Amino acid sequence: MIQFTEMVNDPKQQEAINRIEAFRKRFQDLRTPTKETGFFYENSSSQPADLVKNPVSESYEPDLEFARHAAFPLALTPDLLYRLRDYPFQPRLQVPWIAVADLLLSDLCSQVDRELYEMDIAVRQELLKGLSQERLCELSQFLLKYVRRNFQSNITGLKQAQYWTALAYVEPGKAAAELTQTLSKLLQQPNLPQWLQKASLVETLAEPLRNFQPLLTLAEAMKQTARGNYTQATELFDELPKTGKSAVVAGVRVNLPTHPVPAKTFSFETVSVNPQGKISEPQTKETAYFTEDLGAKTTLEMVYIPRGRFMMGAPEQEAESYDNQKPQHQVSVKPFFMGKYPITQAQWQAVAKLPKIHYDLKSNPSYFKGENRPVEQVSWYQAIEFCARLSQKTGKTYRLPSEAEWEYACRAGTTTPFHFGETITTDLVNYRGTDDKDNKWSGSYGQGPKGIYRQETTPVGSFGVANAFGLYDMHGNVWEWCADPWHDGYQGAPIDGTVWDETCNDNRYQNYIDLLVNTIDDNRSRLLRGGSWYSSPRYCRSAIRYYYLAPAVNFSSFGFRVVCVIAWT
> For the chain, what is the mean pLDDT?
85
Residue-wise pLDDT for 475-488, tens only, equals 999 999 999 999 99
Residue 238's CB is within 10 A of a number of other CB atoms, namely 11
Write the pLDDT tens digit of every residue in 246-302.
899 999 999 887 655 555 789 999 999 999 999 999 999 999 888 999 988 999 999
pLDDT of the residue at 539 = 95
What pLDDT does residue 521 have? 65
Name the E strands within 87-241: 109-113, 116-119
Asked if residue 41 has pLDDT above 70, the reply is no
What value does the mean pLDDT take over residues 200-222? 92
**pLDDT tens-digit readout, 319-362:** 999 888 899 999 999 888 999 999 999 999 999 999 999 889 99
pTM to 2 decimal places: 0.60
Question: What separation, in Å, do the N-terminal and C-terminal C-alpha atoms of the chain show?
Answer: 54
Radius of gyration over alpha carbons of the chain, in Å? 31
- Give the long-range contacts of residues 159-166, CB within 8 A, separation 24 or more: 161/74, 161/75, 161/201, 162/73, 162/74, 162/75, 164/201, 164/205, 165/72, 165/73, 165/74, 165/204, 165/205, 166/139, 166/140, 166/141, 166/142
Q: Are 370 and 340 in contact (CB under 8 A)?
A: no
pLDDT of res. 552:
73
Mean pLDDT of 81-106: 91
Whole-number pLDDT of residue 127:
93
